[in-house]
C-alpha cells in the first residue's frame, strides 16, 4: 500500500540552461511589479498542487532536479518501499526523466505527460497514467473533486493559475487544444481561488485558452474581490484571449473584472501568414485594438511566434516598435511541431529539435533561415526588453 508521494520537478536550469528568454523575463519582470519567476521554473508547476489535492492522507515531499546524479542519490535516501515518485513528462524533459527512471530502477514511478508513453514501456517500475482521473486506479485514497494543495510551495513568490474553462473554439494551425469549451463548476473555481492562500502572489493568471469564450467570465468580478479579502496585495488578473475578444471587452475587463494585463496571441503581423495560421483576426482588427488600448488602463502582452517557415518578420518588428509604449513585454514562443497539431505549418517535422521549445534550430529552416530567426529573436527582445 502506498504511504508517501515524492513529486519530482526538473529545473529549467537543466532543460533550458541556454534559453535567452529566461534572462529576458527576469529583466522585464523587474519592471512590472507583481510578476515573479521562481528559481527553478517559470511558475509553480500546477500539476503538483492539482495532484496533491486529490491525494489526501499521504505523506508528501517535493524534489527539484538540478543534476541527474545528485537526484538519483537523493531519491535513494527514501528507503520505504511504499513510496511512489511522480513526474510530469514533456518533450523538453523526457530524456532526462527516462535516465532518472533507468538509474532508479528500485523505485516505483507514476508518470504522465505530453509524450509517447512508449518510451517508458521497457521499465517495469513505471506506471503511466493518461489523466489525473486514472490516478484513482493507482492510489487507494483518491479524491476526484479535491481542490489544489499548494502547501509544498508555501510562501513562494509566483503568479499562480486558476481555470474557469478548458478548450478553445478556434482552430489555429499550430495548436493542440480541444475545440470543445467546457466550463468548470462554481465550486471548483472557488476551491482553486481559496487554495492560493498558501502562496505569495500579487497577480493571478487565468488559464482559459481564450478568455471570454466561456459564459462564466464575469465571475472574475467577485473572485477578484474575494482574493483581495485575504490578500490585500492582489493587483489583478492576467488573462489570455484573442484580438477580437480583447477589442470587445478590454475596457469592461479592466474596469470591473480586476483584469490588470491582457495577453493576446498576435503571433506574426502579416495578413497572408495570419490566414495560413488560421488566426481568428486580421491586421485591421489588430490596429483597431491598439488604438483602443490607448484609452484603457491595462497592460498588454502580445505572444510572438518565431521560427515560422518562410516568414518575413519586418512587419512584426515594425509593429513592436510602433506600439512599444503600450506593450508591457512579449511572450516569445518558438514554433514546435507536434503530431497532434490541428493543422501542420510544416509538411514534415523529423528534426532532433523540432519539438524543442528552446531551440531555433528546426528542420524546416536552412542555416541561413536559422540565422535570420536568431536575428529576429534578438531584435524583438531588445525592442521590448527595456
Question: Which of 155, 189, 223 is the last residue in one of the domains?
Answer: 155
Kindly report the CATH number assigned to the domain that includes residue 251: 3.80.30.20
Give the count of beta carbons closer than 10 Å to the beta carbon of residue 30.
10
Q: Is 244 within the bounds of a domain?
A: yes
Q: Is 245 within the bounds of a domain?
A: yes
Output the CA torsion sign for 302, 304, 11, 20: negative
Q: Is 104 within the bounds of a domain?
A: yes
Q: Within this chain, do residues 77 and 96 fall inside the same structural domain, yes or no?
A: yes
> In sequence order, what are the residues at sequence separation of 6 or more whose Cβ sits closer than 8 angstroms to the Cβ of residue 6?
60, 61, 62, 63, 75, 78, 83, 84, 85, 86
Q: Within this chain, do residues 20 and 90 fall inside the same structural domain, yes or no?
A: yes
Q: Within this chain, do residues 269 and 379 fall inside the same structural domain, yes or no?
A: yes
Q: Is 33 within the bounds of a domain?
A: no
Q: Is 237 within the bounds of a domain?
A: yes
- Residue pair 135/142 in contact (Cβ under 8 Å)? The answer is yes
Phi, psi (deg, nearest 5) at residue 9: -120, 130
Q: Within this chain, do residues 172 and 141 fall inside the same structural domain, yes or no?
A: no
Kindly give the pairing relationship between strand 108-113 and strand 126-128.
Answer: parallel
pTM of the model: 0.90
Rg, C-alpha atoms of the chain: 21
Q: Is 32 within the bounds of a domain?
A: no
Q: How many domains does the chain have?
A: 2
Q: Within this chain, do residues 187 and 110 fall inside the same structural domain, yes or no?
A: no
Q: Within this chain, do residues 175 and 59 fall inside the same structural domain, yes or no?
A: no
Q: Within this chain, do residues 177 and 50 fall inside the same structural domain, yes or no?
A: no
Query: Which grid cell is 216?
Result: 462564466
99, with CB counted inside 10 A (0-12, 13-18, 19+), is middle
Q: Within this chain, do residues 11 and 136 fall inside the same structural domain, yes or no?
A: yes
Crossing angle for the helix pair 367-384 and 20-31, nearest 10 degrees? 10
Q: Is 279 within the bounds of a domain?
A: yes
Q: Is 182 within the bounds of a domain?
A: yes
What residues does 200 pair with on adjacent strands? 157
Question: Which of 155, 188, 206 is the last residue in one of the domains?
Answer: 155
Question: Which of 131, 155, 179 is the last residue in one of the domains?
Answer: 155
Domain coverage including residue 112: 1-27+38-155
Q: Within this chain, do residues 72 and 54 fall inside the same structural domain, yes or no?
A: yes
Kindly report the CATH number assigned to the domain that includes residue 105: 3.40.50.280
Q: How far is CA 207 from CA 132, 164, 385, in A?
A: 18, 7, 24
165-199 burial, b at 16+ Cβ within 10 Å, e below that, comes to bbbbebebebbebeeebebbeeeebbbbbebbebb
Q: Within this chain, do residues 90 and 191 fall inside the same structural domain, yes or no?
A: no
Q: Within this chain, do residues 164 and 293 fall inside the same structural domain, yes or no?
A: yes
> In sequence order, what are the residues at sequence separation of 6 or more whose Cβ sits closer than 8 angstroms to the Cβ of residue 290?
323, 326
Query: Digits of tens for pLDDT over the chain (386 positions)?
Result: 789 999 999 999 888 777 778 889 999 999 998 999 999 998 999 999 999 999 999 999 999 999 999 999 999 999 888 999 999 998 889 999 999 999 999 999 999 998 899 999 999 999 999 999 999 999 999 999 999 999 999 988 999 999 999 999 888 877 878 888 999 999 999 999 999 998 999 999 999 999 999 999 999 999 999 999 999 999 999 999 999 999 999 999 999 999 999 999 999 999 999 999 889 999 999 999 999 999 999 999 999 999 999 999 999 999 999 999 999 999 999 988 765 554 467 766 666 678 778 889 999 999 999 999 999 999 999 999 97
- Residue pair 41/11 in contact (Cβ under 8 Å)? The answer is yes
What residues does 264 pair with on adjacent strands? 241, 302
Q: Within this chain, do residues 147 and 265 fall inside the same structural domain, yes or no?
A: no
Amino acid at each position: 500500500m502506498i504511504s508517501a508521494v515524492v513529486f519530482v520537478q526538473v529545473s529549467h536550469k537543466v532543460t533550458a540552461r541556454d534559453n535567452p528568454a529566461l534572462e529576458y523575463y527576469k529583466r522585464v519582470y523587474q519592471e512590472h511589479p507583481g510578476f515573479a519567476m521562481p528559481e527553478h521554473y517559470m511558475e509553480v508547476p500546477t500539476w503538483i498542487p492539482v495532484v496533491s489535492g486529490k491525494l489526501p492522507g499521504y505523506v508528501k515531499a517535493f524534489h527539484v532536479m538540478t543534476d541527474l546524479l545528485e537526484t538519483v542519490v537523493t531519491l535513494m535516501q527514501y528507503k520505504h518501499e511504499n513510496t511512489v515518485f511522480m513526474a510530469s513528462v514533456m518533450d523538453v524533459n523526457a530524456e532526462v526523466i527516462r535516465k532518472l527512471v533507468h538509474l532508479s530502477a528500485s523505485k516505483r514511478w507514476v508518470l504522465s505527460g505530453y509524450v509517447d508513453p512508449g518510451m517508458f514501456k521497457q521499465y517495469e517500475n513505471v506506471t503511466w497514467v493518461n489523466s489525473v482521473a486514472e490516478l484513482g486506479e493507482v492510489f487507494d485514497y483518491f479524491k476526484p473533486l479535491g481542490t489544489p494543495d499548494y502547501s509544498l510551495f508555501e510562501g513562494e513568490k509566483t503568479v499562480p493559475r486558476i481555470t474557469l474553462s478548458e478548450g478553445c473554439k478556434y482552430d489555429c494551425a499550430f495548436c493542440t487544444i480541444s475545440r470543445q469549451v467546457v466550463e468548470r463548476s462554481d465550486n471548483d473555481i472557488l476551491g482553486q481561488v481559496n487554495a492560493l492562500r498558501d502562496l505569495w502572489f500579487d497577480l493571478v493568471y487565468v488559464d482559459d485558452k481564450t478568455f471570454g469564450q466561456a459564459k462564466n467570465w464575469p465571475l472574475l468580478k467577485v473572485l477578484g474581490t474575494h482574493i483581495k479579502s485575504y490578500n490585500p496585495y492582489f493587483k489583478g488578473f492576467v488573462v489570455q484571449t484573442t484580438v477580437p475578444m480583447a477589442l470587445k471587452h478590454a475596457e469592461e475587463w479592466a474596469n470591473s473584472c480586476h483584469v490588470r494585463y491582457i495577453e493576446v496571441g498576435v503571433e506574426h503581423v502579416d495578413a497572408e501568414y495570419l490566414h495560413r495560421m488560421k488566426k481568428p483576426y486580421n491586421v485591421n482588427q489588430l490596429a483597431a485594438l491598439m488604438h483602443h488600448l490607448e484609452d484603457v488602463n491595462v497592460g498588454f502582452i502580445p505572444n510572438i511566434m518565431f521560427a515560422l517557415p518562410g516568414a518575413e518578420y519586418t512587419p512584426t518588428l515594425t509593429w513592436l516598435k510602433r506600439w512599444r509604449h503600450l506593450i508591457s513585454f512579449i511572450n516569445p514562443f518558438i514554433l514546435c511541431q507536434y503530431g497532434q497539431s490541428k493543422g501542420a505549418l510544416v509538411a514534415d517535422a523529423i528534426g532532433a529539435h523540432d519539438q524543442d521549445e528552446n531551440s531555433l534550430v528546426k528542420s524546416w529552416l536552412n542555416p541561413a533561415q536559422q540565422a535570420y530567426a536568431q536575428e529576429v529573436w534578438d531584435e524583438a527582445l531588445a525592442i521590448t526588453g527595456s
